[in-house]
């Protein structure tokens, strides 16, 4: 995503880590790491080894995929969260300075019932579900992540959007005392994202408070983020402080930075390449071979109707 140089992340930043990962994945598949450790299974598992607060009584979601889940370690150490650094491993190293309690989200704009909600209440607003979603990053990698949360529509319904509300803007925290990355103008802070109201109301759109059965780690967007599995990962704003309903399409952080590269819709679409990265195929973290990318990241059956009649090359 970085826009320091045209060549940006590809060779200089991702490759060494990817090479390292692939080597590990290869050794793992050959059984060599486990054998070397003398503890078969320890290194191969997706078993959580963490310490964050566990979330009890999670419902299983019919929206979940049964594809192999990306190991917890990869999900929590290979991140994009520029407020804590632009390298993939920096958020895990730096985000301990993020203070997630107390935390309030303001819900405002074109609504009849503007309200603020604290994170503790938010956790109880609707039954928490585990939703195992495919996630596709525009940079070309993908993961399968067992998120925890409930449909964002639960929060939206309470606000009673007016007839003027056509879009939803997500404003995320921007506090230079907690976020060292704000010292660098890589993006216009705060990181803002947006959806059309019907996209935000779609049952797949998740208000996310956890992963792997635990509260969200800071580097993944604690205490609350959104997850929109049929869109590229950058639409999923982290550490949200405001949800604003608007009549006009919000400007979003990546669109402001590079309007030619990042459109408002950002639906996963293997037929529309990003100017610097093909979107036809993807590398699932931990795998060698690239796999074909699916239209709407494999969620076409659920969401294609939202875009009926739209030119998705123009509305990228």
Interface with ligand MTE: number of residues (CB under 6 A): 17
- Using CB under 6 A, which residues numbered 167 to 186 contact ligand MTE? 172
Identify which of 149, 127, 301 has the alpha carbon closest to the alpha carbon of residue 226. Answer: 149
Local structure of 111: helix, strand or coil: strand
Contact residue for ligand MTE among 142, 178, 220, 267 (CB under 6 A): 220
Contact residue for ligand MTE among 233, 266, 279, 284 (CB under 6 A): 233
- In whole angstroms, the minimum distance from the beta carbon of 230 to ligand MTE comes to 14
Residue owning tokens 């408070």: 209
21 phi/psi in degrees, rounded to 5: -65, -45
Q: Which is nearer to ligand MTE, 61 or 80 (CB)?
A: 80
Q: Which is nearer to ligand MTE, 159 or 268 (CB)?
A: 268
Give me the residue whose beta carbon is nearest to ligand MTE.
Answer: 233
Q: Quote the CA–CA distance of 136 and 125 in Å, as a whole number.
A: 28
Residue owning tokens 């790491």: 33
The answer to the question of residue 81 lying near ligand MTE (CB under 6 A) is yes
The answer to the question of residue 1 lying near ligand MTE (CB under 6 A) is yes
Instruction: Locate the DSSP E strands across the chain.
Output: 59-60, 104-109, 115-118, 129-136, 141-151, 167-172, 192-196, 206-211, 214-215, 225-227, 240-246, 281-284, 291-292
- In whole angstroms, the minimum distance from the beta carbon of 126 to ligand MTE comes to 22
The answer to the question of residue 231 lying near ligand MTE (CB under 6 A) is no
Buried b (16+ CB within 10 A) or exposed e, 228-251: bbbbbbbbbbbbbbbbbbbeeebe
- In whole angstroms, the minimum distance from the beta carbon of 191 to ligand MTE comes to 4
- In whole angstroms, the minimum distance from the beta carbon of 89 to ligand MTE comes to 11
- The residues of the shown chain that bind ligand MTE, judged by CB under 6 A, are 1, 79-83, 137, 172, 191, 220-221, 233-234, 236-239
């Amino acid at each position: 995503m970085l826009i320091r140089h045209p060549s940006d992340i590809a060779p200089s930043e991702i490759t060494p880590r990817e090479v390292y990962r692939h080597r590990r994945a290869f050794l793992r598949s050959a059984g060599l790491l486990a054998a070397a450790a003398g503890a078969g299974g320890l290194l191969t598992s997706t078993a959580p080894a963490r310490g964050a607060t566990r979330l009890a009584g999670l419902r299983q979601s019919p929206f979940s995929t049964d594809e192999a889940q990306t190991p917890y370690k990869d999900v929590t150490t290979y991140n994009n969260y520029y407020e804590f650094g632009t390298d993939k491993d920096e958020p895990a190293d730096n985000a301990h300075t993020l203070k997630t309690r107390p935390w309030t989200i303001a819900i405002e704009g074109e609504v009849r019932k503007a309200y603020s909600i604290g994170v503790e209440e938010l956790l109880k607003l609707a039954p928490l579900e585990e939703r195992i979603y495919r996630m596709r990053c525009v940079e070309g990698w993908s993961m399968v992540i067992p998120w925890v949360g409930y449909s964002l529509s639960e929060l939206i319904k309470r606000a009673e959007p007016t007839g003027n509300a056509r879009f939803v803007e997500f404003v995320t925290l921007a506090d230079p005392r907690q976020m060292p990355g704000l010292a660098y103008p890589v993006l216009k802070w705060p990181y803002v994202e947006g959806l059309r109201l019907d996209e935000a109301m779609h049952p797949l759109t998740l208000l996310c408070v956890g992963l792997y059965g635990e509260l969200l780690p800071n580097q993944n967007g604690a205490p609350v983020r959104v997850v929109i599995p049929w869109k590229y990962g950058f639409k999923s704003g982290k550490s949200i402080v405001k949800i604003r309903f608007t009549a006009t399409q919000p400007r979003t952080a990546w669109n402001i930075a590079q309007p030619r590269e990042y459109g408002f819709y950002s639906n996963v679409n293997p037929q529309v390449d990003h100017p610097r990265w093909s979107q036809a195929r993807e590398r699932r973290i931990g795998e060698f071979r690239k796999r074909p990318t699916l239209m709407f990241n494999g969620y076409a059956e659920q969401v294609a109707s939202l875009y009926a009649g739209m030119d998705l090359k123009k509305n990228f």
